[in-house]
């Protein structure tokens, strides 16, 4: 495989995460706590957000630099009315090998068939508990569990491959690890457990609230024995396991206790078109400015190439080494979508 554009640590640019809106119909405490993201929060005005044409053009430019996989995220991407059309047009770009969406699932029941017909093949649905009271507590009273489970069912019925993401927080939903594992084992969907991360500055993250990969594995393995399986590809963020009694797979994303910066090939673009070269970046590069100027695709590609060539981000590795200042400003998760 050719290497395309490399950063300072020889990591290629392979994945693009497009946040298509900064708005969300949930208020998960670890991402958009209600007291900060309230009615007066200055969300982006529609003219600031990248249009469909701008998103398609930008993706084409990234693909010319070596990007092969696209993830659409938010905020809540399904709030964006032109999402099926976006999927359809991104699918037409020569060189795009994979498109996925990360969603809270609340609107999937309505939109899954349309997304499938637009060419989407897979979707990751976030769900942090099967217990209604806890789920409501976690999402700021916005949705019951049933709503998301119906969304998952609708996606599956429409022909989409579904993976479920659960962010685990000690004392908030760690009692749900085993019930979630069991439920999705029975329903034959891959679930990925995500270590709670210190993204942004508004969730008050503390290391004591992290349940480690090892502990998650221990808790599940005690009741449903597991064995490791090979990664699908180099740089896969989730480590994979399978249950011994069937072929059902689970994954664990251990960005806190076992960071994977050395293979990180992901660029992130926020809804207003800022490029971030790390989930924990303090600053972004305003690409909307270039898209709305006279610059050609080649000139914009050159600019992005330069930014990538100068990238040295390895925040999670540095956190592991104890080299992160507590006061370092970071972009909010809802702004770049994970």
Q: Tell me which residues touch ligand SAM (CB under 6 A).
A: 24, 30-31, 73-74, 76, 102-104, 126, 165, 167, 194, 196-197, 199, 203, 333-334, 337-338
Residue 194 Cβ, how far from ligand SAM at the closest point, in Å?
Answer: 5
199 contact, one of ligand SAM, ligand SF4, none, CB 5-8 Å limit per kind: ligand SAM
Q: Which of 337, 335, 336, 334 is nearest to 29 (CA)?
A: 334
DSSP 3-47: --SB-TTS-B--EEEEE--S--S---TTTS-TTTSSTT--PPPGG
Q: Name beta bridge partners: 190.
A: 163
32 contact, one of ligand SF4, ligand SAM, none, CB 5-8 Å limit per kind: ligand SF4
Q: Which of 278, 269, 323, 294 is nearest to 77 (CA)?
A: 269
Residue 19 Cβ, how far from ligand SAM at the closest point, in Å?
Answer: 8
Quickly tell me which residue has 């990238």 as its tokens: 311
Q: Kindly tell me which of 164 and 291 has the beta carbon lying closer to ligand SF4.
A: 164
Annotated binding residue 88: no
**273: which residues sit within 8 A by CB, 6+ positions away?**
50, 54, 58, 286, 287, 288, 289, 291
Q: Kindly tell me which of 288 and 316 has the beta carbon lying closer to ligand SF4.
A: 316
165 contact, one of ligand SF4, ligand SAM, none, CB 5-8 Å limit per kind: ligand SAM
64 contact, one of ligand SAM, ligand SF4, none, CB 5-8 Å limit per kind: none
Rounded CA-CA distance 155/144 in Å is: 17
Annotated binding residue 11: no
101 contact, one of ligand SAM, ligand SF4, none, CB 5-8 Å limit per kind: none
Site of interaction with ligand SF4 (CB under 6 A) = 24, 26-28, 31-32, 74-76, 104, 126, 259-261, 264, 266, 278-280, 313-316, 334
Rounded CA-CA distance 119/97 in Å is: 12
Q: Is 138 helix (H, G, I), strand (E, B) or coil?
A: helix
Rounded CA-CA distance 217/251 in Å is: 10
Sequence ranges of the binding site: 17, 24, 28, 30-31, 71, 75, 102, 126, 163, 197, 261, 264, 266-268, 278
């Amino acid at each position: 495989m050719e290497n395309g554009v490399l950063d300072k640590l020889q990591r290629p640019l392979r994945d693009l995460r497009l946040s298509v809106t900064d708005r969300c119909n949930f208020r998960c405490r670890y991402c958009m706590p209600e007291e900060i993201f309230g009615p007066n929060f200055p969300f982006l005005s529609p003219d600031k957000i990248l249009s469909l044409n701008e998103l398609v053009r930008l993706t084409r430019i990234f693909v010319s630099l070596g990007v092969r996989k696209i993830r659409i995220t938010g905020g809540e991407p399904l709030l964006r009315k032109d999402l099926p059309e976006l999927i359809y047009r991104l699918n037409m770009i020569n060189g795009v090998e994979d498109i996925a969406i990360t969603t809270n699932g609340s609107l999937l029941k309505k939109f899954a068939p349309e997304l499938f017909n637009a060419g989407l093949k897979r979707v990751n649905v976030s769900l942090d508990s099967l217990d209604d009271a806890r789920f409501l507590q976690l999402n700021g009273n916005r949705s019951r569990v049933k709503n998301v489970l119906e969304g998952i069912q609708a996606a599956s019925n429409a022909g989409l491959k579904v993976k479920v993401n659960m962010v685990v927080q000690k004392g908030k939903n760690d009692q749900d690890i085993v019930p979630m594992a069991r439920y999705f084992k029975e329903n034959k969907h891959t679930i990925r457990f995500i270590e709670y991360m210190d993204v942004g500055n508004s969730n008050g993250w503390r290391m004591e609230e992290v349940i480690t990969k090892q502990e998650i594995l221990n808790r599940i393995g005690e009741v449903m024995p597991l064995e490791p399986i090979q990664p699908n590809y180099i740089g896969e963020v989730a480590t994979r396991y399978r249950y011994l009694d069937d072929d059902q797979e689970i994954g664990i994303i251990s960005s806190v206790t076992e960071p994977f910066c050395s293979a990180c090939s992901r660029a992130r673009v926020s809804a207003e078109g800022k490029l971030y070269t790390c989930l924990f970046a303090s600053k972004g590069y305003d690409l909307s400015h270039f898209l709305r100027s006279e610059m050609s695709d080649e000139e914009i590609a050159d600019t992005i190439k330069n930014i990538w060539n100068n990238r040295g981000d390895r925040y999670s590795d540095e956190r592991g080494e104890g080299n992160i200042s507590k006061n370092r400003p970071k972009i909010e998760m809802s702004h770049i979508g994970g």
